[in-house]
Structure 1
């Protein structure tokens, strides 16, 4: 078609109301008929676009299959089922010790002779043995913590756990033993020959968690030794706790050093956990919180009696059990 037949309209031209646009010339009949035929039969696109459309269609179909399966209550494929993550395996047990627990049901305050290692359960006339707890220690993870605990079990450090009290029981969580103080009150004599433990300030020592009942841990955040004892330059922390279950104790993680676990006697641990304790009334707790807010030191002293067992529970005997093959899980002879 000749372009000279189409008039050129400048961009700055503004049509007036009475202005009539010039009509374009009619196209030839051949061009018009050819265009009308192609409106019903468009020109086919290239084959590449067809393959791309099929690829997109197949991809969209694959994404809609899971939804269709869910709508029809079809079980998911095996690879879609997420298996629970198993707990990490326990570290290698290198040492083994035992603690014998005894109950004195008629005495809340221990007799003066209860702290005597030679007397033991003889201080209580109607003592009831609860049983033996065998503990496996992680000597490769925290060797100094394990060595100090063993020395308190054998008495080689000049002090021992024998004849000392379980002085705190948090039911459903853990119990605490090994508080230092006076022997006639059932407390651990401050050990003088114990090596200082640098693992208490090493971040690597807090890698293990209180993830199961029967976890043995060195008390740091839960330690309640008197300030007068802690300020001694020769002070060594020997207080420990054992989790009682039924679940983990994540509030103890990263604050106390896990260094062992209960191998045998978890039923004894459960028996200790069921002993009733002193729990103040809600009004007393509110007064104590208010006194602590005011800075009254008596508030902290009053809390030392909370969660104490109403029956005397003490360690009547303790010692070390030799392990023939430390690389294997030990068992009783």
Structure 2
């Protein structure tokens, strides 16, 4: 028969030590979890500024192979005005950037450019840099537009793409040509507006939410429903192979994907003063 001896003092001390270590680990774990959750004390969605975009639908159609043809204000069919409220307290540098591009103070402007991408059920996108003749944004001058420290600030990524009409600066979704992005004076001015019907959590933590649509969400919805150039599965496969092989025609072809068949033109824009 085996006789079990009563636990020693060492056993009690070890057990108590293990319990203390477990409690400490649990507390540390909850602290880490809390730090990983955005602190809403740091979120300020006060509307500090407003910008407007008057939009028109061009009557001439885009062509998949050639650039982004645009049209003049007189040639376009008015769609209406979209007003965006900016979160200047949350992302002050991005707010100044968008205002400067809307007013032309950046040495460049969104006026006369097009919404170059429509991803149905997700977002519409504008601000692609390139040739003004193709409806693209002329690269803004660093003499007028400062670099944007919001892009490296953790506070800039606390806001979520939680509803239609959320407006954000494109980082992960930015599709400016690599030759433009590699310029040391490059200033990113691409933005997108979510269209719904639901939230877009895949855009969170990868792009900077800087505002919301205050007026014209119905216009955004109408743009989101417009027909676009969509590649077939077979075209996608060939394009992926061409891209792997380093064929520059692959990226040129991709630039036409998801463009509206008829260009949506920003006929005028600026700061809306109340």
TM-score, normalised on structure 2? 0.78
Q: What does residue 130 of structure 1 align with?
A: 79
**Residue 223 of structure 1: SS of its match in structure 2?**
coil
Count of aligned positions: 227
- Is it true that 1:148 corresponds to 2:122 in the alignment? no
- Find out whether 1:121 has 2:48 as its counterpart: no
Q: 1:156 to 1:295 in 2, by over 3 A?
A: closer
Distance of 1:280 and 1:134 partners within structure 2: 32
Residue by residue over 1:112-134, the C-alpha shift from the partner in whole angstroms, topping out at 9 and shown as x without a partner, is: 7x4xxxxx412x2xx21111111
TM superposition shift of 1:168: 0.4
Q: Is the 1:167–1:308 Cα contact (8 Å) retained in structure 2?
A: yes
Q: Is the 8 A contact 2:116 2:259 kept in 1?
A: yes
Counterpart Cα distance in 2 of 1:267 and 1:238: 24
RMSD of aligned residue pairs (Cα, Å)? 1.8
The one of the two structures with greater contact order (alpha-carbon pairs below 8 A, sep at least 6) is 2
Q: Tell me, what secondary structure is at the counterpart of 1:169?
A: strand
Structure with max Cα Rg: 1
- Matched residue, 2:57: 103
1:92-130 deviations in Å (ceiling 9; x for gaps): 110011111100133315557x4xxxxx412x2xx2111
SS for the counterpart of 2:80 is strand
Determine helix, strand or coil for the equivalent of 2:130: coil
Contact 2:62 2:69 (8 Å CA) reproduced: no
Measure how far apart 1:304 and its partner are.
Answer: 1.6
Q: Which runs of 5+ in 2 are unaligned?
A: 1-39
Moved over 6 A (4+): none
Contact kept in structure 2, 1:130 and 1:271, CA below 8 Å: no
Unmatched 5+ stretches in structure 1: 1-87, 115-119, 324-333
Post-superposition Cα deviations, 1:210-265, rounded to whole Å, max 9, x if no partner, equal 11000010011111111121121111000100001111111111110000000111
The corresponding residue for 1:238 is: 189
Q: Does 1:315 align with 2:266?
A: yes
Number of the residue aligned with 2:219: 268
